[in-house]
Structure 1
């Protein structure tokens, strides 16, 4: 598609079509070189068949685009998790919850990658309004996830489930880049003595979440426990 091929969108449905197109092109560019944010707005505009100035009509920056892709990925992941846990009201074990979260998160590499670069890259070139909007939506999703988990376990309070989801995000943010090192680091880590630094995202996230759930369950059971104080 050649730059400028898109005519200026005037109707709401046309504007939404342009936004969706830009998001799809962004996903394509990210998938071509996983683990790296290497494209600029000029490259994005060229692949989208738009001018750079037209891109700015729909998103304030490349990072705002990445933030929107992350918002979509988080929503899709939540749907995956809900499907994985099923519709039964029967309680499930902490191990089952941890396994489901780790498995569904691992299946969405864009979720892991964009979550890991959110504080260090994405949030550094967007407006405060954009960040507030994203964080508000993220908080609502965390609360939905907490409610889902609370309905499937009898050992955790709703506030403990919210705390669990906050720590889950922290684990994903740190574990994703550690489990996806650069090609040079990957070569260096092949020696036997450096095996402790070779991480596996799904395996290690599952282990970390199981330990976290165990600790939260024990804490919730203690007399006088007041719950999560964010």
Structure 2
């Protein structure tokens, strides 16, 4: 393995980016729980020992990916909400959420692992920073939604946004279960209809939002 240690800031940033890209790609073929540092190192073309020059653990790598994906999702969502001119604003908001979510599948895969794995193996300082930046994103999102639908106050939109994230991640994993569940569901004697993430999310979120519109 031809390895040249990165020494300059731009080289270090590039090496970290390569590792993050490889780690994110692993989620397309494996569940997070099955991914090892060795898998990431092999995919990135470096040794496992050298990964520790850039990240302290596998979970730090995936927490970094989560933060980047969450920021990207929030930025795109807020931008699209700001451009919305639809007559049925609430239905369009739900469609925008679903479309933006489906463009960020890595985030959907990591969200449920945030509390069960990634936060449990992080420091208090890391978790505090994660919560601080998350709260700031929720406030920006609430402000953008309130600007589009001012009938619902901003504090209510904050709660709607929190609930929408839970709805989004819950539906995603309900519709895309692990391999054992998929095998069980494929049996002819298991009589359950197929489920579609987009339609389930859009109808549920739109109903939740409409429930917050004040009655005149």
Q: Which band: TM-score by shorter chain?
A: 0.7 to 0.9
Which deviates more, 20-29 or 70-79?
Answer: 70-79
Counterpart-to-counterpart distance in 2, 1:199 and 1:40? 31
Q: Does 2:25 align with 1:28?
A: yes
| Partner residue in 1 for 2:3 | 5
Query: Structure 1 residues 47 and 13 mapped into 2: Cα distance closer, same or farther (>3 Å)?
Result: same
User: Would you say the 8 A contact 1:91–1:152 is kept in 2?
Assistant: no
SS at match of 1:118: helix
How many Å apart are 1:181 and its aligned residue? 1.6
The residue aligned with 2:207 is 211
Aligned to 1:228: none
Match of 1:71 in 2: 67
- Bigger shift: residues 16-25 or 167-176: 167-176
Partners of 1:89 and 1:48 in 2: CA distance: 43
Residue from 143, 146, 171 that aligns with 1:147: 143
Going from structure 1 to structure 2, the CA distance change for 1:11 and 1:91 (only over 3 Å counts) comes to: farther
Partners of 1:88 and 1:210 lie apart in 2 by: 15
Deviations, residues 172-200 of structure 1 (Å, cap 9, x unaligned): 2322221102344234335587426x542
Secondary structure of 1:172 counterpart:
helix
Unpaired runs of at least 5, structure 1: 223-230
Q: Is the 8 A contact 2:66 2:110 kept in 1?
A: yes
Shift in Å at residue 71 of structure 1?
1.4
Q: Does 1:17 align with 2:14?
A: yes
For residues 39-188 of structure 1, what are the structure 2 equivalents within 5 Å?
Answer: 39-85=35-81, 87=83, 93-188=89-184
CA contact (8 A) 2:77 2:100 kept: yes
Deviations 1:37-56 (A, max 9, x none): 42211221232233333322
- 3-state SS of 1:76 partner: helix
Residue 225 of structure 1 corresponds to none
- Give, in whole Å, the separation in 1 of the partners of 2:55 and 2:159: 32
- 1:88 deviation in Å? 5.9
User: What CA distance in whole angstroms lies between the structure 1 residues aligned with 2:9 and 2:32?
Assistant: 33
RMSD over aligned CA atoms reads 2.5
Once the two structures are superposed, residues 144-192 of structure 1 have per-residue CA deviations (whole angstroms, 9 ceiling, x without a partner) of 1112111111221111111111111221232222110234423433558
**Cα distance in 1 between the residues matched to 2:131 and 2:44:** 28
Displacement of 1:89 in angstroms is: 7.1
- Quote the offset at 1:120 in angstroms: 1.4
SS at match of 1:119: helix
